[in-house]
Amino acid sequence: MTRSRYSAPLAAHAQSREQITGKFLAVLPFLAAGAALGLLATLAPAKAAAQEPNPTSQPATAPDEVANPITEQNGIYIYKVKVVQRNLDCVNYLHRSGSTHIGFRGTTLLPGAHGDAKVTSERGGITVDAKFDGLTPANGFGPEYLTYVLWAISPDGRAQNLGEVLPAGTKNNIHVTTALQSFGLIVTAEPYFSVTEPSDMVVVQNVIRPDQTTGVLEKVEANYYLLPRGTYAETAGAHTVVNPITRNEHSPLELYEADNALRIAQDTGADKYTPEIMQQAKLDLQNASDIDGSKHRDEKMEITDAREAVERAEDARIATLRKQAAELQANTVIAKNEAQAQAAQAQADAALSAQQAAASQAQTAQLAQQAAASQASAAQSQQQAAQAQLDAQQAQAAKAQADAARAQAEAEAAEAQAKAAEASKTAEDANAVREKLRTQLNSVLQTSETARGLIVNMSDVLFDTGKYTLKPSTQISLAKVAGILQSYPGLKVQVEGYTDSVGSDDYNQKLSENRAAAVKDFLASQGVSQNSMTSAGFGKNDPVADNSSSSGRAQNRRVNMVVSGDAIGVATQNATVSSVSPQ
């Protein structure tokens, strides 16, 4: 079977993986929302929220129900998330009691699947030799599912990933070990092999065979929890997808899983929270993709790199969710402390007001006493009455002054709130404009978002070798970029040139400067204001890959356009470049 069965070769990085995961990418924002919400549940004491969610999970709410209600109990904010609960027969395998057999049968999702396993209790653990028949390609349940994973579920509902059930036609074998003594076995469809919590796509579960399952101490029905699959995934069984993915294609299944894992981690926010792990994961995926497109490809090394990318992407996703939960919890504590401080201040103000009222009452009583004493003498009484009238006028004036001060303070507070609201709206508008601009630029040249602004990357292949002459195709792309930039007034563009470590420092510095200047001059010729652009060359400095390999040097030979400005909410910053020795 050739790769022409699919839309296009995966190695070309054009259509195959994009079409096969296209529906999955369309719902990545929902995946991120579901993953973040699932992690919020770690703040609650519920057992179901003790671990990070499966990457395909997405909580759903009724139309008349408030999504993910937040409640407070004894000063603790509790975030609730719905889970799916299932029952499973668990077997307590006697310690070092030899081997026994257990059966498998398909669920309503895959009724044609079945299998059996030989379970051996040995010193130090239990081994499971399982065989399955009837497992159709996993993406028959939705484009986000690519493989199957075997899980051991303890009687308390704790799930352990035992390993990936790799497809080989419709028959699948797996040999694994576990440290659990009592457990049940299930198989789920997953987006990649290294997930830490099972999805609710349970296709196979174990069944006890009274005539074959021996050495059973107890039979326990374990309640285990599954985070529900997203509502975006519409499936009608194992034959929904016209062209299911199998391992019989030119590109291995592990490469598709690596794509899934990396994009899920990115949409969760891993590029921000775990950039070091993500950089390694991207490098592993790039290596696997390069091998896939090679004429003399090493399939074992390609699968090794792809699986390494999956593991690192899952590590980055889990670490990101934990950091986000810690960040949210810290913000919650800060908000609570601020509320308590404001309440304490309000109580102090009330106490001060009460003290002042008591003092005022005491003063009034004193005046009344003086008025009674003044009745003995008419002249003295009149004089005291006049004095009392004067005091009353002064008190009224003081009260009017206090009222005016309070009104002025309230007006200033209202003005400050209005300014804060306006500033928040301006920031939101800038974020929307920045995202729109990134999408437009990315449709022409690869564009990423950084703290410095949007970085439009031009690789070395856009120039003639060793020269700074723009190729005709490059000029077409830059003309499109110029048209996009002119539709956003006030933008600043910093054009930065870089080379690899081959050649002298002077040669590389001059070449990087000339290439950056050539891009700047071409943009100016297309109508972009000279005053809004700068250019600089940095030679071999600040490499993005290892210069010891040809692929690494190709990545280091580049021209970056850094786009910033108030219109997209990013202040212009100068480049910070570190000098490095050639590799």
Q: pLDDT tens digit string along 330-341?
A: 999 999 999 999
Does 557 have pLDDT greater than 60? Answer: yes
Average pLDDT value for the chain:
78
Question: What share of the chain has pLDDT > 70, as a percent?
Answer: 74
Does 506 have pLDDT greater than 90? Answer: yes
Q: Which residue has the tokens 């509320």?
A: 339
Q: What is the pLDDT of residue 388?
A: 86
Q: What is the pLDDT of residue 72?
A: 54
Hey, is 180 helix, strand or coil?
Answer: coil
The backbone torsions φ and ψ at residue 328, rounded to the nearest 5 degrees and listed phi first, read -65, -40
Does 4 have pLDDT greater than 90? Answer: no
Q: What is the pLDDT of residue 187?
A: 94
> Predicted confidence band at 575 (pLDDT cuts at 50, 70, 90)?
low
Position with higher pLDDT, 12 vs 205: 205
Q: Averaged over 405-422, what is the pLDDT?
A: 77
Does 175 have pLDDT greater than 90? Answer: yes
Alpha-carbon gap, residue 534 to 528, rounded angstroms: 12
Alpha-carbon gap, residue 299 to 249, rounded angstroms: 12
Query: Is residue 102 a contact partner of residue 206, using CB atoms and an 8 Å limit?
Result: yes
**The one-letter amino acid at 319:** A
**What are the chain's domains?**
1-321 (no CATH), 438-568 (3.30.1330.60)
Question: What share of the chain has pLDDT > 90, as a percent?
Answer: 33
The backbone torsions φ and ψ at residue 416, rounded to the nearest 5 degrees and listed phi first, read -65, -40
Q: What is the pLDDT of residue 56?
A: 64
**The one-letter amino acid at 285:** L
Q: 45-54, 290-299, 398-407 — which is least confidently predicted?
A: 45-54
Q: pLDDT tens digit string along 370-412?
A: 878 877 777 777 888 888 888 888 888 888 888 888 788 778 7
DSSP state, residue 535? E
Q: Averaged over 52-74, what is the pLDDT?
A: 52
* Whole-prediction pTM: 0.46
Query: Is residue 542 a contact partner of residue 578, using CB atoms and an 8 Å limit?
Result: yes
Taking alpha carbons only, the member of 352, 345, 86 closest to residue 222 is 86
Does 583 have pLDDT greater than 70? Answer: no
Q: What is the pLDDT of residue 225?
A: 58
DSSP character string of 43-110:
GS--GGGSSPPPTTB-----TTS-SS-EEEETTEEEE----EEEEEEEEEEPTT-EEEEEEEEE-TTS
> Predicted confidence band at 282 (pLDDT cuts at 50, 70, 90)?
very high
Q: What is the pLDDT of residue 35?
A: 44
CB atoms within 10 A of CB 281: 27
Position with higher pLDDT, 492 vs 40: 492
Does 270 have pLDDT greater than 80? Answer: yes
Distances (CA, A) of 534 to 50, 490, 527, 538, 574: 52, 14, 15, 13, 10
| Rounded-to-5 percentages of helix, strand, coil across the chain | 45, 25, 30
Q: What is the pLDDT of residue 63?
A: 41
Q: pLDDT tens digit string along 512-543?
A: 999 999 999 999 999 999 999 999 999 999 89
Per-range mean pLDDT, top range of 26-30, 37-41, 58-62, 548-552: 548-552
Q: Averaged over 151-180, what is the pLDDT?
A: 85
Q: What is the pLDDT of residue 24?
A: 40
Q: pLDDT tens digit string along 445-464?
A: 889 988 888 999 987 667 87
Does 40 have pLDDT greater than 50? Answer: no
Q: 377-386, 431-440, 468-477, 508-517 — which is least confidently predicted?
A: 377-386
Does 27 have pLDDT greater than 60? Answer: no
DSSP character string of 91-121:
EEEPTT-EEEEEEEEE-TTSTT-EEEEEEEE
Strands 492-498 and 533-537: parallel
Does 130 have pLDDT greater than 90? Answer: yes
